[in-house]
Amino acid sequence: MHILLYDTTLRDGAQREGLSLSVEDKLKIARELDILGVHYIEGGWPGSNPKDAEFFQRVRRGILRHAKVAAFGSTRRAGSRCEADDNIRALVDAETPVVTLVGKSSILHVARVLETTSAENLVMIAESVAYFKQRGKEVVYDAEHFFDGYKLDAGYALATVAAAAAAGADCVVLCDTNGGSLPDDVAAIVTAVQRHLAARTANVPTLGIHTHNDGALAVANALAAVRAGCTHVQGTVNGYGERCGNMDLIPLIANLQLKLGYHCVAPEQLRRLSEVSHVVAAVANLNPDAHAPYVGHSAFAHKGGIHVAAVAKAPESYQHIDPALVGNRMRVVVSELAGRGNVRMRAEELGLDLNGNERVVLQRIKELEKRGFQFEAAEGSFEMLVRRAAPDYEPPFELLDFTVVVNKHGENDMISQAMVKLKVCGEVMHTAAEGAGPVNALDRAIRKALLPHYPELADVQLADYKVRIVDEHLGTAARPRVLIESARGEERWSTVGCSENIIEASFMALWDGLELPLARSRAVQRSTLNVQR
């Protein structure tokens, strides 16, 4: 069975606290959704702000190839006519092929929010739907607060969706607006709505579901609704939305298609799920959830030694799907919980040969993690452990001494100075530098010593610097863990240091971050020479 996907990231998703999308942002996301194979893209509420109105103007220029664009708005106001209603006029001006109208299904909201009569609300729904059907629009009717309204007064809730259906709505969407429903209740109510509409309308509209995640059940409720007969599903990418968020389309698509046998998108589009999730997060200026099902960086990460030993023989032993189906991949995480298999597989992913040193590297990892190091997010430092374990490894530089001084005189700015003594290619280099802080000063002093011998390090930049306190209960005596991300063009690597002294922890991470590209270059040079011989 084919399921219609209706994305409302650009409206409902944008209601997430702290999320703001420009018109350009909305157009970028719309293109990604179109390529993914989403059938409907709700662009926003054209009557609410100029930004949404501009989006509808620009999206009409044909930037989408497949998806239909929907404009969202409410039914006409109580006591007015559609022709005179500003919101209705804005929906007309949006010139979208699809109009989505939201109306009240709960008698509570009719009486206390709209402050009108139950009879007038039914007329508002019917007249608004009919108004757009007469203009040739595809009309989606969102029955707001339907499940809560059904529990409060089932007869009236059913009357509201019957009014929309009788007026010609192409799709009636049942909304769990407060996000508190349970899957069994959703399934039972969807079944009741189907029976009611089949008995009272000549042309039964498509039935849809719109759930929120306040009870952490948005995806489960949407799946229950689909299995009960809904063929139109509304949600947002990554579950963005007000309060606890909307139903997350990403796991919904994967579950429907891979677990239940429904058709949502083509297989090649399904393989873009991870990419789309991360692109939308980047456009929204939000960090992707590393532990998000299916598409998170850790969704198929294996840390325990027993797990890794199993997946090395049969990946399906600890994976519910092949991660490639959704554009993700299996990862092996190295930590104190790891076994030799973790170390071997992680080294193989990096293209390194351990030459039987798995036990040595693993023991070193366990010793360092006991001291507060963590290698899960520091693949650069793990790589250096492997390289240094090789008996023929020669370090490109050696630390002899360093001093960092921080001075503040009266009201003057703080001054940081670092002095470093390194042995580089047999030569002792003694350098000093000032910086915008002690770590920056140390970085500059180290580079000053290394660049004359290794000019390629000029292209290596410090991209990120994070500090975490390992044992907070010790207060100012606690050990800080420093994680540094370095970059050279598109290449990225992370390194870690840990010590009671934050300057020493920072130096450890800086050291690995600068030695790693040199070690890689040497390995490439040796490999080239061996091939030439």
pLDDT of residue 275: 92
How far apart CA 103 and CA 459 sit, in angstroms, is 58
pLDDT of residue 139: 98
Residue 15 region by backbone torsions, left for phi larger than 0, else alpha for psi between -120 and 50, else beta: alpha
Whether the CA torsion 504, 507, 513, 518 is positive or negative: it is negative
Rg (CA), the chain: 30
Residue type at 268?
A: E
pLDDT of residue 469: 81
φ and ψ at 531, to 5 degrees? -65, -40
φ and ψ at 239, to 5 degrees? 70, 20
- Mean pLDDT over residues 506-526, rounded? 90
Element of type H or E holding 72: strand 68-74
Which segment of 18-32, 388-402, 472-486 scores lowest on mean pLDDT? Answer: 472-486
Element of type H or E holding 24: helix 23-36
Place of tokens 């840390």: 303
How far apart CA 442 and CA 460 sit, in angstroms, is 15
Instruction: Assess contact for 295 and 328: CB atoms under 8 A.
Output: yes
Is the pLDDT assigned to residue 237 strictly greater than 90?
A: yes
For 319, the token pair is 């994976």
Strands, E, within 408-517: which ranges? 415-424, 427-435, 461-469, 480-488, 491-498
Q: How far apart are the first and last CA of the chain?
A: 61
Is the pLDDT assigned to residue 150 strictly greater than 80?
A: yes
How far apart CA 238 and CA 486 sit, in angstroms, is 28
List Cα–Cα distances, 209 to 16, 303, 442, in angstroms.
20, 38, 57
Eight-state DSSP code of residue 203:
S
Beta bridge partners of 420: 402, 431
For 438, the token pair is 């002690």
How far apart CA 506 and CA 532 sit, in angstroms, is 40
Concatenate the DSSP letters of all residues of 247-291 into one string. -BHHHHHHIIIIIS--B-S-HHHHTTHHHHHHHHHHHTT----TT
* Structural domains of the chain ordered from first start: 4-283 (3.20.20.70), 301-370 (no CATH), 372-396+462-533 (3.30.160.340), 398-453 (3.30.160)
- Mean pLDDT over residues 446-468, rounded? 91
pLDDT of residue 366: 80
Alpha carbon 48 to its chain's center = 27
Residue 96 sits at the vertex; the CA angle it makes with 88 and 232, to the nearest 5 degrees, is 95
pLDDT of residue 154: 97
List Cα–Cα distances, 125 to 42, 75, 140, 150, 170, in angstroms.
20, 6, 12, 17, 14
CB atoms within 10 A of CB 530: 8
Number of H helices, E strands in the chain: 18, 16
Residue 166 sits at the vertex; the CA angle it makes with 165 and 172, to the nearest 5 degrees, is 5
Is the pLDDT assigned to residue 412 strictly greater than 80?
A: no
- Mean pLDDT over residues 405-418, rounded? 83
Longest dimension (CA), the chain: 91
CB atoms within 10 A of CB 202: 6
- Mean pLDDT over residues 138-151, rounded? 98
**Of 479 and 208, which is predicted with more confidence?**
208
- Mean pLDDT over residues 306-321, rounded? 84
List Cα–Cα distances, 207 to 121, 165, 203, 302, in angstroms.
21, 10, 12, 40
Q: What is the pLDDT of the chain when averaged over all its residues? A: 90
Is the pLDDT assigned to residue 353 strictly greater than 80?
A: no
Q: Which of 110, 115, 195 is nearest to 153 (CA)?
A: 110
Structure confidence by residue, pLDDT tens digits, 124-141 = 999 999 999 999 999 999
Q: What percent of the chain has pLDDT over 70?
A: 94
Instruction: Assess contact for 515 and 384: CB atoms under 8 A.
Output: yes
pLDDT of residue 335: 54
How far apart CA 29 and CA 19 sit, in angstroms, is 14
304 exposed, middle or buried (CB, 10 Å; 0-12, 13-18, 19+)? middle
Is the pLDDT assigned to residue 504 strictly greater than 70?
A: yes
pLDDT of residue 166: 96
pLDDT of residue 192: 97
Q: What pTM, to 2 d.p., does this model score? A: 0.73
φ and ψ at 165, to 5 degrees? -65, -45
